[in-house]
Structure formats: structure tokens, C-alpha cells
Amino acid sequence: MAAPPNSWEELLRKMLPEGAPLPDEDQLDYSISFDYVGPSPFFKPPDANPAIPKSRFTAFPKRAPSLTPRNPSWIKSRSSSDTTSSEIRPFSLTFDDGIESEPESESGNTGDHHEFGDSNSNSNSNSNSTVICEGEGEGGVRVMGCGRCGKKGGNEVWRGRERCIVCGAEYCKKCVLRAMGAMPEGRKCVGCIGRPINEANRRRLGKVSKVLVKLCGRVEVRAIMQVERECRANQVRPEQVVVNGKELREEELDELLGCLVPPRDLRPGRYWYDKDSGLWGKEGAKPERIISSKLNLGGKLQTGASNGDTRVYMNGREITRVELRVLKLAKVQCLPDTHFWLYDDGSYEEEGQNNIKGNIWEKASVRFICSLFSMAVPSERAQRTKEEPSSLSARSVSKNLEEHKVQKLLLLGLDGSGTSTIFKQAKFIYANKYTPEELLNIKLIIQSKMYRYLGTLLEGREHFQEETLMKDTCSDLAADRSVPGSCPDFTDYFVSISPRETRVTQSKHPVAYGFLVLILSGETECYGSRKCVYSVNQKISNFCDWLLDLMASGDIDTVFPAAACEHAPVADEIWKDPAIQETYKRREELPSLPDVAAYFLDRVMEISSSEYEPSENDILFAEGVTPTNGIAHIEFSFGDDSAVSELYNEDSKNQQPLPKYELILLSSPKWLDMFEGMSTGLLCVSLTDYNRQWTDSCGLQQNKMVASRDFFESVAKRSCFEYTPFLLLMTKYDVFKDEIEQVPLSVCEWLKDFNPLKTHGKNTSLGHQAFHYIGARFKELYASITGRKLYVRQVNGSEQQSVDEAFRYAREIMEWEEHNIGGIYAMSDDDLLSEEL
């Protein structure tokens, strides 16, 4: 069933504010994502109709095989042939240079096979062909205008440009095929064929570009991308890899890349390698991988290879501080000037003692911490090989690498921004359920928190009661003494330090001040017999005194939850008391009382009982379930077709392995620098923050959206996230869309320029426009820091489907980044959109 020709335009028009112009297809930006409200644009095909293709959003592309290192088959072909261009020819092109018409690229041509033969000679015979490599910069400097026809940027044709991965010369859509010919080594001008690529473009190798898809069709582009990745001329050259201070020789590089556990994604650079343990890292840095041991590579491992300063030595290398922490975690005695000998199986001994003391990889916690910090951990493959060496011989190296790759997602955000909720939802949706021990712990947390909420309410009640009675008393006194005029508002005259200590801080009004002094010095009896909406009976008052004393002395945690069951009836009575309900109505004045307090207190009897078992919602809404000052993580994988997936288990052995993900929730920014090499950063910001206050670690108050922005900025600036794409998850849209109708976005100084259009459409509501505006401000900020694109999505943490969709979006981003490096080449992202899109 063919879609109507302009269906995407219609769909887009519905999403954009009324009157907004439609962007060109080339300019479409897929980096803001939100929940589409309306009928599904993708029809579920009836089972009986196999002709209808599966929706493209339900099937995610399989990860492409690892690009580098090369697989052994390549190494074989490399030694057998020395030609650079003819060994892998993606397809043949015939080119009729007499026809000046633009290739049919705009429509209908996708998937067509272009027959442009012998392009090299034809291109060269063209009068313009001499400019092919002119003006090129070796360092990838961009040539202004098309390198062949000379057209400058700005017009439609120029926008879809392609760049040579050697010289950086750019060609407009019309000239790409003429300038690059059959592309036997990928996107290179014909004059650059056989020449090594510019290293700045290595990350671009094999990443599909939209322009090529339009010009050549998918099948051909795949072939071009494959040769671009695999042909000899584009590989790392031996002299570009220095190991232990020595440039590699050709056979050494072959040994390194052809071994069972090679370095991941080898780039030109300086490395150190410990052949006894297999540890491998960049010169001057911590180990990043354990590769195959006993390879004969480079020079001798130097003491200062990793720039360690710990006075603890491993196989002659002074180890780094992070390694020392790991050793301590593994309970290895590490006194200064200890010299260890570490073997490739993880066993270690002190030098010269000939006595194996243990195995550092034995503990799961050690392996976990190492993998969290992107540090070396022994690969399962290497371990399996030891057990069954023959079982792996037939498997390709790249396949193995794929299988064991775990995509790491780092979840960050200020307290209350929704991070814990998303983490808990991910655990419900994808990972295993909570264990009985975890459930017991959560139950105790919920019970304890519930009594704290009650304490906070009682404290507030006391404060509100004093305030109200004092006001009443003062107005009576004022009336008694016939003070002319109305009674001043006494609340202006004192600031509450705590409900039990009220201090006069102003005395603008001498009469009022006189009354206050009178009241405060003349005992509270003057309103002791009075009552107000916040007054309670003696029983509650006694409980209130007891609970508040417990809170003040810090003993509440020793009493609750142990005494929860015993005090449940009175707690229930208190919660239902009208005075407490009146207090709860003013909960925004009690900052430590979360909205979820009522959810739990409504069921105080049930929750206080020893038989109570927290439900999924209870866990979701409970505070403090995830560690507030540390790290939590879950590992999971999810399939393409359904929201719910299984843990990868024994049963899936025979199936295609699902990609694995590790979600790491980081509550404390002090660890941030340790998280290099994350696949994606998920940063949560609550949309309602624009109207909230935040107290920083120094006790200073500021707008919470501004605090979130500053936090985001500090994260984006870290060098450890240089290559990490970020997805901004904007939470609490459900609350925000109503709140924005009452309180304008301009209450936040950073967002004061928001200028909404007055329209009445589903997707042009004030909330929707404001969400876009905030997203755009964050994108702007991120681009100014990193020059890259920030992905944005709204999430409702309380809905599993919304969280699931956010993770699916994150997965698409990882795919795009892997195939298109959208972020790094953001300046030309119009031609680097995913093939899948």
C-alpha cells in the first residue's frame, strides 16, 4: 500500500505551530522527539497481507559488523594482493558525460542502479576534472564551493554535498559521481584513490550519507561503505601505531589485529601493552582493555607507560590511581613499593615470591567496577577460548566483538528530576524484577519515609497554628485598644526559624511591634485557649510532641519502621484529622514534603502492617529506593518487536543475540570523570523546574531550571564525554502542560524570551511550544559548548510506555551515531542523516 505522496508533509504540518513554514526534507532535524498524539501513521498490517512492509520503527537495524579492526579474512587478502583499487569494486559505473542533467536524485531514484562506467577516464576527460583535488587541504580543510563546478553553498544543489575522505574537497550533488567515479575505496576524488585517508575522517569511514543514498541507491551505497571500511588504503598503517615506544612493523600489526581479542577500534596513536597480563592502554593512561597476551609487539613496557603515581608496580609498570582502587576493592594488599606480577588469567603474586596470592577477577564487584569505569576487564571470549579453544576458531573476530559489546547508558540529573523513576521503570520493563531481599528493603524504606512525612506535616501544622493564632490574637488586641485603621498583617513582622521558635525581625510598625512583644513576653496563654483550623486534640498533640522530639534528636530511624505497626491507628487518625488535611493543602510551603506523601499516607494502616508488600506503583513512587549518593546499574537487552524483553539467558543461545545495554544511574557528580566511553548520556531535566527553587550545596537558592542548565553545562564540558552523544530527557510534561497555563515561563530568567504563538491545536498548545523552546535552549547551549547536536525527548516517568519509547529513541541515537556520527559532523548533518530515516 503506497503512502500518499505528501503524507510526511501533512504529518509534519500537524506537529508544527500553525503558520510555521515546512522545512526542506534536507533540513529535517530528527533530534527533538515527543509523543505523537493522534492516529497511528503506521498501520498494523493485517496478518493476511504479507505485501505490506513492517513499520520501520518496529525493526531496528542490526548493528553493522565492527569496522576496525579488520577481520582475518582481510588480512589474508591483504598479503595476497597489492592493488589498492581493483580488489573490491562495489559496482560498475558508466557515465555519459554528454548529458548535463542532474542525476535523478530528488525522488523515485532511490534504489536505482546507476550505470556510470569507467568514471575515472571520463571524469578526467572532462574539462573541469583538473579541479578535483585543487584547493584541497591535507588537514581536511573545507573547500569553499564545489570542487568540480565551483558552485558556492546556499542553493538546493549545494546543500546535498559530499566530501572526499582524503583531501576534504566537497562536491555538489551534480558533481559527486563525476568527481568520485566508481568509488573503489569509498568517498575519494579519483585523484585521491590509493592515498591514505585524513585521520580526522576515520570515524566517518563506512557511515552512510544521505546524499549517496539518493544518488546511488541503498544496495550500491552499502557496497561502497563496505569497501570504504575494508579496503587496504583506508586502514591504519603500521607506522601509525606505536606500542611501548616503537612503531609497529607490518607483520606486528597483522598479529595485533588478527589475534583473538584485539584492541577495540584501533586508531593511529601511541599505546602501551603488557604482554604478560594482556593489559592494553593509551600511552599515559589507565588500561582500557585486556587483549590477547603474549603478542610480540613493539618495544619493552616502560615503568611510566601509563603515567601512574602510586608507587605500586605491576609487571614493571607503575599503576594508576584508578587501578589501585580496583586492587584495594579486590582486597589485594598494596603497600607502597610493592611489585606485583599479574598473569593473563588474573592470578597474581608478589615479585620474586613464587606464590600465587589470588585472582583479581574473581570478584564480580571488581569486574563490575572496572567495566563501569571503562577499564580493562577480561573478555568472556578470552576465557571461553581457554576452555574450548576450537569452538571459536570458525567465528569471525568482528562477530565476536559485536556479541560482547555492551552499550552503556549513563543516567544523570539533579535530585527530583526523574532519574530514579526512569531507572526503576527500566528495571520493571526490561530487567529482572526485584528480589525478595530488595523488596523487603523497599518496604522498610517506604514505612520509614511515611512516618517522616507525617512528622513534616505535624511540624507544619504547629507552625501554621502558631501563625494563625498570633494573627487572630493581634487583630483582637488591635481592636481592643482601638487602634485606628485596620490591623496590620503581623506575618510581615516575623520570620519563622522553626515552628517552635518565632523571632521578631522587623519593627516597621511601632504599634504592631508593641503587640508582638506583648504576646511573646506575656506567655502564649493569650491565645492558649483559642482554636483555629490547625488545632488538634490532646492525643494528637502528645503524639506530635513525641514524633517531633524523635525527629529533632535524630532517633526517628531507630524507632521506625520497627514501631510502624504499633502506631498505625493513631497515625491514620492523625492523617484524617481536619487540621492535618488543612496543613496538607499548604504543602507547597513545606519543601521537604513530596507530592507522593498523600499516596502513601492514605494507606497508612495497610503500609504499616507487617504483611505489607510494595506494589510496582509503590516502588515507583517511593523515595530513596535508589542510592542517593552513589551508583546503581542494571543490565538488560530488549528486542525489536515488543516493549517487554527478556534478560538474555540460556534459551537465547541459538538465536541472534540481542544487543546488550547497561543503564548506570549516577547520583553523585563527583564520579563523573570516571565514566569515559559511555555510548549515550541520558540527562534528565524536569520541565516543572522553571517554577521551582533549588538549594545548592552551599545553601544558595536559585531557580531549579537554571541549576539544571548549569549542571548540564558542567557535564557537557567534561572531556570524558567528548565522543558521547547526549539525550536530554525532559520529564513531568504531564504536570508542566497544566502548570504553564497558570505560571508563565518567564518566571525563569533564562527562559524569559519565550514568545508563544496564540494558536489552538493539539501540538501547538502552550505546553508543547514551551517544551520545544526549552529543548531548543538546551540544544543551543550544547552546540555552543561541543559543536554537536543534542537529542531531546519528553518523558512521562510514571508511564511505562513513555519510558520504553525514550529508551528506543536512545537506541536509535546510538545506531545513528555509530553509522552517521551525526554529532561530530553536526555542521553538515543535513547530509549525514541515517539511512534508516
Ligand X SMILES: Nc1nc2c(ncn2[C@@H]2O[C@H](COP(=O)(O)OP(=O)(O)OP(=O)(O)O)[C@@H](O)[C@H]2O)c(=O)[nH]1
Task: List, as residue ranges, the binding site for Mg(2+).
Answer: 628
What whole-number distance in Å separates Cα of residue 92 and Cα of residue 551? 80
- Give binding residues for GTP as ranges: 620-628, 651-655
CA 531 remoteness from chain centre:
54
Cβ atoms of residues 621 and 425 within 8 Å: no
- Give binding residues as ranges: 620-628, 651-655
Contacts of 834 (CB under 8 A, 6+ apart): 30, 208, 812, 815, 816, 819, 820, 822
What whole-number distance in Å separates Cα of residue 157 and Cα of residue 151? 9
358 binds, among ligand X, Mg ion, none (CB under 5 to 8 A by kind): none
CA 313 remoteness from chain centre:
36
Residue showing cell 505551530: 17
Residue 29 binds Mg ion, judged by CB under 5 A: no
Smallest gap, in angstroms, from Cβ of residue 790 to ligand X? 20
596 binds, among Mg ion, ligand X, none (CB under 5 to 8 A by kind): ligand X
Give the closest residue to 772 by CA, choosing from 38, 34, 23: 34
Q: Which amino acid is at 48?
A: A
120 binds, among Mg ion, ligand X, none (CB under 5 to 8 A by kind): none
Site string for ligand X, 565-604 (x = CB under 6 A): -----------------------------x-x--------
Residue 421 binds ligand X, judged by CB under 6 A: yes
Cβ atoms of residues 142 and 198 within 8 Å: no
Contacts of 382 (CB under 8 A, 6+ apart): 260, 261, 278, 290, 292, 344
Residue 628 binds ligand X, judged by CB under 6 A: yes
Stretch of residues binding ligand X (CB under 6 A), selected from 526-534, 544-552, 656-664, 792-800: 792-800
Angle at 270 between CA 266 and CA 275, to 5 degrees: 80
Cβ atoms of residues 725 and 791 within 8 Å: yes
Cβ atoms of residues 673 and 715 within 8 Å: no
Residue 624 binds ligand X, judged by CB under 6 A: yes
What whole-number distance in Å separates Cα of residue 776 and Cα of residue 790? 9
Smallest gap, in angstroms, from Cβ of residue 606 to ligand X? 19
**Phi first, then psi: what are they for 131, rounded to 5°?**
-85, 0
Smallest gap, in angstroms, from Cβ of residue 741 to ligand X? 16
565 binds, among ligand X, Mg ion, none (CB under 5 to 8 A by kind): none
Looking at the Cβ atoms of 421 and 637, the one nearer to ligand X is 421
Looking at the Cβ atoms of 628 and 801, the one nearer to ligand X is 628
Looking at the Cβ atoms of 416 and 756, the one nearer to Mg ion is 416
Looking at the Cβ atoms of 106 and 415, the one nearer to Mg ion is 415
> What is the pairing mode between strands 680-686 and 726-731?
parallel
796 binds, among Mg ion, ligand X, none (CB under 5 to 8 A by kind): ligand X
Residue 387: count other Cβ atoms within 10 Å of its Cβ.
Answer: 7
Smallest gap, in angstroms, from Cβ of residue 705 to ligand X? 15
Smallest gap, in angstroms, from Cβ of residue 621 to Mg ion? 11
Residue 415 binds ligand X, judged by CB under 6 A: yes
Residue showing cell 548529458: 99
* Binds ligand X by CB under 6 A, chosen from 272, 430, 453, 621: 621
For 334, 363, 710, 723, the CA distances from 717, given in Å and listed in that order, are 34, 34, 11, 12
Residue 572 in grid coordinates: 491514620
Smallest gap, in angstroms, from Cβ of residue 418 to ligand X? 4
Looking at the Cβ atoms of 70 and 793, the one nearer to ligand X is 793
Looking at the Cβ atoms of 419 and 820, the one nearer to Mg ion is 419
* Binds Mg ion by CB under 5 A, chosen from 29, 96, 115, 415: 415
Residue 616 binds Mg ion, judged by CB under 5 A: no
* Binds ligand X by CB under 6 A, chosen from 396, 541, 798, 800: 798
Site for ligand X in 694-753 (CB under 6 A): 731-732, 734-735
735 binds, among Mg ion, ligand X, none (CB under 5 to 8 A by kind): ligand X
662 binds, among Mg ion, ligand X, none (CB under 5 to 8 A by kind): none
Cβ atoms of residues 803 and 429 within 8 Å: yes
**Phi first, then psi: what are they for 495, rounded to 5°?**
-115, 135
> What DSSP state is assigned to residue 832?
-
732 binds, among ligand X, Mg ion, none (CB under 5 to 8 A by kind): ligand X
Residue 787: count other Cβ atoms within 10 Å of its Cβ.
Answer: 12
* Nearest residue to the partner ligand X, using Cβ: 797
Smallest gap, in angstroms, from Cβ of residue 683 to ligand X? 13
Residue 741 binds Mg ion, judged by CB under 5 A: no
* Binds ligand X by CB under 6 A, chosen from 122, 209, 796, 820: 796
Looking at the Cβ atoms of 375 and 707, the one nearer to ligand X is 707
- Label residue 549 exposed, middle or buried (CB < 10 Å: 0-12, 13-18, 19+): exposed
User: How many residues of this chain interact with ligand X, rule: CB under 6 A?
Assistant: 22
What whole-number distance in Å separates Cα of residue 730 and Cα of residue 773? 12
Residue showing cell 516517568: 797
3-state secondary structure of 555: coil
Looking at the Cβ atoms of 493 and 736, the one nearer to Mg ion is 736
What whole-number distance in Å separates Cα of residue 671 and Cα of residue 684? 17
Residue 578: count other Cβ atoms within 10 Å of its Cβ.
Answer: 11
Angle at 769 between CA 765 and CA 773, to 5 degrees: 165
Residue 230 binds ligand X, judged by CB under 6 A: no
191 binds, among ligand X, Mg ion, none (CB under 5 to 8 A by kind): none
Stretch of residues binding Mg ion (CB under 5 A), selected from 146-154, 338-346, 407-415, 643-651: 407-415
Applying CB under 6 A, the residues found at the interface with ligand X are 415-421, 594, 596, 621, 623-626, 628, 731-732, 734-735, 796-798
Applying CB under 5 A, the residues found at the interface with Mg ion are 415-416
